[in-house]
Amino acid sequence: MIVLGIETSCDETGIALYDTEAGLLAHALHSQVKMHAEYGGVVPELASRDHIRRILPLVEAVLRDAGKTLREIHAIAYTQGPGLAGALLVGTSVAESLAFALGIPAIGVHHLEGHLLAPLLEENPPPFPFVALLVSGGHTQLMRVSGIGRYELLGDTLDDAAGEAFDKTAKLLGLPYPGGPEVAKLAERGKPGALKLPRPMLNSGDLNFSFSGLKTAVLTAVNSAEMNEQSRADIARAFQESVVEVLTAKCLAALQQCGMERLIVSGGVGANQRLRESLGNTACEHGCEVFYPRLEFCTDNGAMIAFAGAMRLQGRKAEDYGFTVRPRWDLAELGAQ
């Protein structure tokens, strides 16, 4: 089965073709980062308009790359939410109308399920069950994953997401949007131990997170030191160390609580090299293994949506899609409105 995946939940138009037999056939992405950078964050109306401009040329490019035609697609998967309403509407309306015209099923995918399953696109994917850390701009969640659609929330952020904390810290340090990679780059030049920031909820005894206090601690540090290139780098490093230590400790606690040895990490913050290093070391010490999507699939992309859609479709019957007739239909079954 060949599935076209469409992702338009935020500021990336991601398109991909996934074949359940042959794997990922092609994928393409247009990032709006440059366009929004001028405003210091995503402007929803601009995002929707840009998705409209990019989506069909990207679908054509992906089909060309894969050497396929529209007629060879068996289903279309699109991000139905969560995300920006206007942006989601672009992907949804293109997917639904294309599927209707082609007479094939369209399936709405949960954006986070896409992130969660993205590591399964790689070679040697982890078998179920595993613990998943979802760390993006909007979410910081630990889940127990027993199979497709079998997700149990173990812990969540009580306020800011980890990626959001990176973005806000970047702003406080005068770095451009999106802040995560910028803070990580600056942190490399920070002196180890020059400054220690709090480790929020490290010893809370549960698997929840809180990052808004850390952002306030960054603000206090920015206001109380003379800002130069070195002090900014020291703050970036201290901030990153704090987030990484908390995320690592909670991942280990989640693995131990579930009695599991496999962790998958997904979402934009999963691209952070310092986090990968820390999780890798801790996993190694405890006989566990960590799985990631390739770097370009840590952030939003069409491949994870095509894949999640394909997994969902494989478990469904043909009559779940399109319309059916009811040759035998008792009037009394109708019920009142």
Q: Which residues bind ligand KG4 (CB under 6 A)?
A: 10, 136-138, 163, 166-167, 178-181, 184, 267-269, 271-272, 299-300
The answer to whether the CB of 1 falls within 8 A of the CB of 20 is yes
Nearest approach, Cβ of residue 335 and Zn ion (Å): 41
x/- string (CB under 5 A) for Zn ion, residues 154-193? ----------------------------------------
Residue 101 backbone zone (phi > 0: left; psi -120 to 50: alpha; other: beta): alpha
The nearest distance, CB 115 to ligand KG4, in angstroms, is 6
Asked if 141 touches Zn ion (CB under 5 A), the answer is no
- Our CB check for ligand KG4 shows the closer of 113 and 300 to be 300
**Shortest distance (Å) from residue 267 CB to Zn ion:** 6
185: its two tokens = 């780059």
The rounded distance, in Å, linking the Cα atoms of 337 and 134 is 41
Helices (H), 144-228: 162-172, 179-187, 212-224
Helices (DSSP H) in the chain: which residue ranges? 33-37, 44-66, 85-102, 111-117, 162-172, 179-187, 212-224, 229-258, 273-285, 302-314
278 binds, among ligand KG4, Zn ion, none (CB under 5 to 8 A by kind): none
Q: How far is the CB of 136 from Zn ion (least distance, A)?
A: 5
The distance of closest approach from Cβ of residue 134 to Zn ion in the complex, given in angstroms and rounded to an integer, is: 9
Query: Please, what is the minimum distance in Å from the beta carbon of residue 259 to ligand KG4?
Result: 28
User: How many Å apart are CA 62 and CA 324, to the nearest integer?
Assistant: 32
Which listed range, 38-46, 62-70, 146-154, 294-302, lies at the site for Zn ion (CB under 5 A)?
294-302
Candidates 213-221, 231-239, 256-264, 298-306: pick the segment binding Zn ion (CB under 5 A).
Answer: 298-306
Helix (H) or strand (E) holding 77: strand 75-81
Which of 19, 113, 164, 300 binds Zn ion (CB under 5 A)? It is 300
| Dist CA 209 CA 200 (whole Å) | 7
Closest CA to 183 of 126, 144, 221, 240: 240
Of 302, 316, 309, nearest to 75 by C-alpha is 309
Nearer to ligand KG4, 19 or 164 (CB): 164
The residue within the footprint of Zn ion, chosen from 136, 240, 278, 301 (CB under 5 A), is 136
Alpha-carbon dihedral sign for residues 38, 40, 45, 47: positive
If the CB atoms of residues 66 and 133 are measured against ligand KG4, the closer one turns out to be 133
- Binding residues for Zn ion, rule: CB under 5 A, are 136, 300
